[in-house]
Chain A
Amino acid sequence: MSGGTFVGMPAFPTAAREALGNAQLRHNLAHATGTIRAKRQRLVDEVNEVSDWEELRLAGAGVKEAALRDLGTQLELLEASLTANGATVHWANDAAEANAIVASIAKAHGVDEVVKVKSMVTQEIGLNEALEAEGIAAWETDLAELIVQLGHDLPSHILVPAIHRNRSEIRDIFLAEMGQVGRPAPDDLTDEPAVLAAAARAHLREKFLRAKVGVSGANFAIAETGTLVVVESEGNGRMCLTLPEVLVSVVGIEKVVSTFADLDPLLRLLPRSSTGERMNPYTSTWSGVTPGDGPQEVHVVLLDNGRTNALADEVGRQALRCIRCSACLNVCPVYERTGGHAYGSVYPGPIGAILNPLLKGVGGPGPEGEQVDSLPYASSLCGACFEVCPVLIDIPSVLVDLRAQVVDAHRGGVPKVEALAFKGAAVALSDSRKLAFGERFTRLGLRVARRFGAAKWTSTRDLPPAPPESFRAWWKRTDGGRS
C-alpha cells in the first residue's frame, strides 16, 4: 500500500492558502502545538532550576559541530568500527542507490514485507514506494506513521506525523483500513486515544512477531564505537530492532557523533525539546551484531542524498546539526497555521524551509524548482525557531542567506517585477535627494495602491492615511521643530 507523495506539490504560498482554509486543520494544529510548547517550556524551566539550559544547548551544538567539521574522518571511523562489530556497511550517493540496497537485502532473504521504525530518512528517500515497486510491503509501525500510511496520507510533522488528524478522523481511518492489510480494528472502536492505541497494538503485533527483516534509521551514529541509537516512545522501535533476523538501518551521514560520551548533551536535549519529556520511554543502542541477542545480520546504509551540498554551504552547514526534535515546528507561527503539507516535504516547518533548499539546491528548473525556491520565504523571520533549537541552528540567518542564493540564481535571466523594483529602490535609497523627491508622491502612491495595485495587501488590510508631509520635509521646514 502506498501513501501520498510530495512530488508535484505547488509552491508554498499556494499550498499554504489551501491549508489555511481548513478550519479543522487550524484547530488541530493550534491545539497540538500549543500543548507541546507548554510541555517543553516547563522542562526547560525545570532544567534552569538545577542547571543551565543555554550551556546545555552550547554543548549539544558543539558535539554535532565538531563531528561535522571532521566528517570525513568520522565516517571512516564509523565504517571501521561498525565493520569490526560485525555489521555490513553500504554507501549510497542518493535515494535510488539507498533504496536499491535495502531492496536487495530484503530480496536476498526472500521476504515480501519488512517492518519499519519511524524514520525521517527513509521517508526522504521514498523507501516504502521503492520497496512496493519491488513487491515488498513496508509496514510503518509508529502509531502516527501507521495513521498516515493507513490514511493514504502524507506526514505533516517530524515528530507527530499525524498532528493534522484528530481522534475521530483517526478512528474512521482505522475502521476503514486496518482490515485491508491485516488484523481489522474491532467493530466497537471508540475515539478514545487509549482505545485507538490498543487497536494499533493488536493490529501490529502479528506483523512484529512474524517479521524477518526490520528497517530503521538512527538518531545518532557513534564513530568511535560503531553504535547506532534509536530514540522512541512506543516500543515499536524496540520490536523492529530486536525481533527480526535481519536489520537494515539507513543513516544520513550527518548523524555521526564522535564518542559514546557525546550522547550526554544530546540525550538530555532531544526528548525535552521534542516531546517535552525528561526522557523518551525507550532508547535503544546497539553496536553491530550482538551475539545471541537480536538480529544476527546487521546492515548500515550511509546516505548522502544532498547532505554534502549542505555541508559545502558555509552558512547553511549548521542545518546538518539538526537532531529532528521538531521544537522549531512547534513554535513557528507559520507552521502553526499552515501545517506541514504546505512545505511539500517530509521536512516541514522552519528546519524544512532551510533543509530542503540546502539538500536539493536552489534555482532548479520548473515547478519543482519554484517550490524549493519558495521555502526560504515561508517565514516571517520572527526568530522563535532559533530561540528553541537545542543545537543552536540560526535558522533565520540561514533563511536570509538562502533568499540571497535564490535571488542570485535568477540573476542574468529576464528580471521579475520584484527584481526591477528592488533595483529601483537601491537607486532611490542610496541617495536621500532621490528619496526626498520620491516621498513627495507618497500620497499619490498610497492612493494608487488603494485603488489599483497592492491587492495582496489591501484586500485584507487597510493602508494608513498619508501624512501631510514627510519627516524630512517637516525637519527642513521647521528646523527640526525649533522654529
Chain B
Amino acid sequence: MRVALMVTCINDALYPGTGQAVVSLLRRLGVDVEFPESQTCCAQPMVNTGYLDEAVPVVRNFVDAFAGYDAVVTPSGSCAGCARHQHSIVARRSGDATLQSAVAETSPKVYELSEFLVDVLGVTDVGAYYPHTVAYHPTCHSLRMLGVGDRPLRLLEQVRGLTLVELEGADQCCGFGGTFAVKNADTSVAMGSDKTRRVRDTGAEVLVAGDNSCLTHLGGLLTRERAGVRTVHLAEILAATE
C-alpha cells in the first residue's frame, strides 16, 4: 500500500512537529509513508470564503500531487473534510471533466489520521506513552463533516500514562471557523473563550484535538489568558513513547 502524507499548509508552515509525529507514528506501525513534495494546500480557505475560481488551480495541484497513492493521510479533520466533500464542488465549477474525474478518484482515498489508524490499519493501541491529564476537543469538521465519531477517544484511551478528562459541551464549536475567526472576530472570540473556560474547568494540563487550526485559535486564547494549559495535536500524543 502506497501511503502519502498530506501535511496541510498550516502544519507545513507553523507546526512541522505534527507532520513529524505522523511520520514517526506511521513508521512505528510499519507504514512507509511518503511526502509528495509538490503538495501545497487543500484549498479550503478559498472554498469556505467563496473564492471558488481561485480554488481550482489549488485542487488541480492537490490531485496531481496525490495521484497514484492508495491512501492519503492527513492530521486534520478539516482538510480531509474539504478534500472529501468540497473538491468535487470546485471541480464542477472548473467545468474541466479531467479534473472532475481526477477528484472523484482521489477524494475517497483521503483519511483523517484517526480514521486511517482505526479503519485502515485496524489499531487503537499505537504503543504510545503520555503521562499527562488531557482534555479532548472534537473539532467540528472531524465530528460532523467526516463523522470520525469516537475514534480519537478510542486511540487516546489506549495511551499509557494518559488521564482523559471529560470536556463539558465538547461538541460545541470553538469559534475558529477559518476566515470566520477574522471576519467575525468578536463572535469567534466569544465562542472561543466559552470553550477555554470549560477547558480550564477540567483541570487538564493539555488540550488535544485533531486540527491545529482550531488549536491555534484556542491556544492563542489560552496563552493570552495565562491559563497554564497547552495545546497539542493528537498525532503528537500518539507518537510519544517512553
Contacts and interface: CB of A to CB of B under 8 A. Distances in A.
Given A457-B181, A457-B220, A460-B185, A381 B57 contact: no
Interface in B152-189: 171-173, 175-189
Given A425-B54, A461-B224, A472-B37, 14 more contacts: A16-B187, A337-B187, A338-B187, A377-B179, A382-B140, A383-B141, A384-B140, A386-B144, A425-B45, A430-B60, A461-B189, A462-B219, A462-B223, A474-B20
B17 interface: yes
Given A462-B224, A467-B15, A383 B144 contact: yes
A195 interface: no
Nearest to A439: B13
A454 B183 CA distance: 11
Contacts of A461: 189, 192, 217, 220-221, 224
A432 B35 contact: no
A476 to B, nearest CB: 7
Interface of B: 7, 9, 11-17, 19-20, 23-24, 34-35, 37-41, 43, 45-55, 57-58, 60-61, 65, 86, 89, 93, 140-141, 143-145, 171-173, 175-192, 194, 216-217, 219-221, 223-224
A12 to B, nearest CB: 7
Interface in A335-380: 337-338, 376-380
Contacts of B220: 457, 460-464
A456 B185 contact: yes
A363 B48 CA distance: 18
Contacts of B219: 462, 464
A26 B143 CA distance: 26
Interface residues of A, number: 66
A282 interface: no
B89 to A, nearest CB: 8
Interface stretch (A183-191, A232-240, A256-264, A400-408): A400-408
Nearest to A386: B144
A316 B145 CA distance: 19
Given A426-B58, A461-B224, A380 B191 contact: yes
Given A381-B177, A400-B48, A432 B40 contact: yes
A27 interface: no
Interface in A440-483: 442, 454, 456-457, 459-464, 466-467, 469-476, 480-481
